[in-house]
Amino acid sequence: MRENPLLGLTFILVPFSLLSIGGGPSIFAPLQREVVDVMHWITAREFIDLFSIARVAPGPGAMLATLIGWKVAGWAGAIVATLALFVPASILTLAVARVYDRYRGRDWHTALEKGLAPVAVGLIFAGAISIIRLSGDGALTWAAAVGAGLTLTLRPKLHPFVVLFAGAGLFVAAEMAGLWPVVAP
C-alpha cells in the first residue's frame, strides 16, 4: 500500500466516501490523519494549503482529495483519488434514488417527500451559516448574502454570475476601504 500510491489512495478514500455523511467536511480530520501522519505523503502545511485551494476553486470542498492524489501520484493519482472519493457514495445515492423513484405515489413515498422537505430546509439554513462562518462571520458577509438573495428574488432572470462577481467586487472595495480584513486561508 505504501509502495503503490494509487492502491493506497483507493484503500483510504473508498471507505471515506461511504462515511462522508454531510459531504467533505465530515472526513477532513480522518483524511489528514491518514495522508499526513500515517502515510507521510504530504506535510501538515501542504494539507492546509490544498484545503484552501479546494475551497477557492470551483467544485465541492471534497476536491481536496483530487489535489492530494495529484500531489502524491500526478494525473493518475488525481483521477484515482477523485473516482475513489466520489463514485462509491454516488452509487449508494443512485441505488436509494432508484428505489425511491420506483414507488412514486404510495403513501409512504408522499410522507417521505413531505417529511424530508422540512429536514432539508433546516439543513439548507445550517449550511448557509456554516459557509458564512468559514468565510469570516461579519456584518458585511450577512449584508452581501441577504442582498444577493433579494436581488435574485426581485430579478429572477439575472445571471447568478453577475451577483457572484458583484460580491467579489464589493469585498475587494471593502478591503481597499479598510473595512474587510484579508483573512489568511
Partner 1 sequence: MMQETPPKVPLRDIFRVFFTIGASSFGGGVTGWMHRITVGERGWLTNEKFLAGLALGQVLPGANVTNMAVYVGQVLRGTLGAGVALLAVLMGPFFLVIAVATLYDTAIKIPGFHSAMDGIAAAAVGMVLRMGTMGALHGCRKAAPGVIAFGVFVAIGILQWPLAPVALVAGPISVALAWPRGPGRGGLDA
Residues 52-111 close enough to bind partner 1 by CB under 8 A: 52-63, 66-67, 70, 78, 82, 86-87, 89-90, 92-94, 96-98, 100-101, 104-111
Residues 6+ apart with CB under 8 A from 33: none
Could you tell me the smallest distance in angstroms from the CB atom of residue 23 to partner 1?
A: 5
Q: Which of 22, 32, 34, 51 touches partner 1 by CB under 8 A?
A: 22
Nearer to partner 1, 38 or 92 (CB): 92
Q: Which of 20, 28, 72, 84 touches partner 1 by CB under 8 A?
A: 20
The three grid cell numbers given for residue 143, joined into one nine-digit string: 449584508
Residues 6+ apart with CB under 8 A from 76: 6
The DSSP annotation for 41-58 comes to SS-HHHHHHHHHHHHHSS
Q: Which stretch binds partner 1 (CB under 8 A): 1-9, 14-22, 33-41?
A: 14-22
Q: Which stretch binds partner 1 (CB under 8 A): 4-12, 31-39, 161-169?
A: 161-169
Could you tell me the smallest distance in angstroms from the CB atom of residue 70 to partner 1?
A: 6
CA distance 73 to 156: 44
- Backbone phi, psi, residue 4, to 5°: -110, 100
